[in-house]
Amino acid sequence: MARKLAAGNWKMNGTGEALGEIDALVAAHPAPICDVLICPPSTLLSRMSDRTNATKIATGGQDCHANSNGAHTGDISAQMIADAGGSFVIVGHSERRADHGETDADVATKAKAVWDANLIAVICVGETLAEREAGQTIDVVAGQLAGSIPDGATGANTVIAYEPVWAIGTGKVPTLDEIAAVHADIRARLSQRFGSHGTDMSILYGGSVKPSNADDIFAVPDVDGALVGGASLKADDFGGIISALERA
Ligand code: PEP
């Protein structure tokens, strides 16, 4: 069975005072019946992990280097994320692919580095608006899945996040039928390649998820949760999404 996961990506947002949102989230959701993850900027990871240590909230990184250490100024490794208390790492987010030119091969190498540190990789895929309008969504996502997920992926070491690039931070969301079509295709490909491990892998939807649309999105077959950007920054909003996932 795929785990139900509400994952927050704080991106390059938040300084120490934002940790108050974590305290508010824990107070409002002391024992969520779904998995909850927050990936803060790396400057906050250790402090956030200390705060969530005794709670059901997991923490993680937003990216990692493919190597475990070395002369890579400005980068952090999966081992460092583990040392700071993280248990997940997002790899292949569209902002990394676009801003840093990361390829599917780079993402696959990073996912292996995440596994080597005994952490869980959240591997992101998703089409641009031009690709959707050209009718290429399924082919683009299939190519990213094939190239970005290393052999050896299981439900225990990998989560997939389908995030249409045009829906991230825009308030635009695909129709429920469109989400259903992509998630069904992802599930079929994961099962074909990884057998029962593919059935066990969670597939998150990401792109402008809010408390007001979360119930509808979580009712779509093969949507096992969400990767949430903007709405994960405020305890009230992210809490509303957690509640919706608990109801699903
Ligand atoms: C994201 O960055 O992964 C994301 C889904 O952002 P938002 O929820 O703000 O669209």
* 98-111 pLDDT per residue, tens: 999 999 999 999 99
Q: How confident is the model at residue 188 (pLDDT cuts 50, 70, 90)?
A: very high
For the entire predicted model, the pTM comes to 0.98
What pLDDT shows up at residue 87? 98
In this structure, are strands 88-91 and 225-228 parallel, antiparallel, or unpaired?
Answer: unpaired
Predicted confidence (pLDDT) at residue 196 exceeds the cutoff of 90: yes
* Closest residue CA from atom 1 of ligand 1: 229
When divided into structural domains, the chain yields a total of: 1
Percent of the chain, pLDDT > 90? 98
In this structure, are strands 202-206 and 57-61 parallel, antiparallel, or unpaired?
Answer: unpaired
Question: Measured from the CB, is residue 169 less than 6 Å from ligand 1?
Answer: yes
What pLDDT shows up at residue 1? 85
- The CATH number given to whatever domain includes residue 109 is 3.20.20.70
Distance (Å) from CA 66 to ligand 1 centroid? 24
State which residues form the domain around 88.
5-247
Extract the tokens encoding 56.
């059901």
Catalytic center residues: 93, 163
* 14-63 pLDDT per residue, tens: 999 999 999 999 999 999 999 999 999 999 999 999 999 889 999 999 99
CB count in 10 Å sphere of residue 175: 8
* Closest residue CA from atom 2 of ligand 1: 229
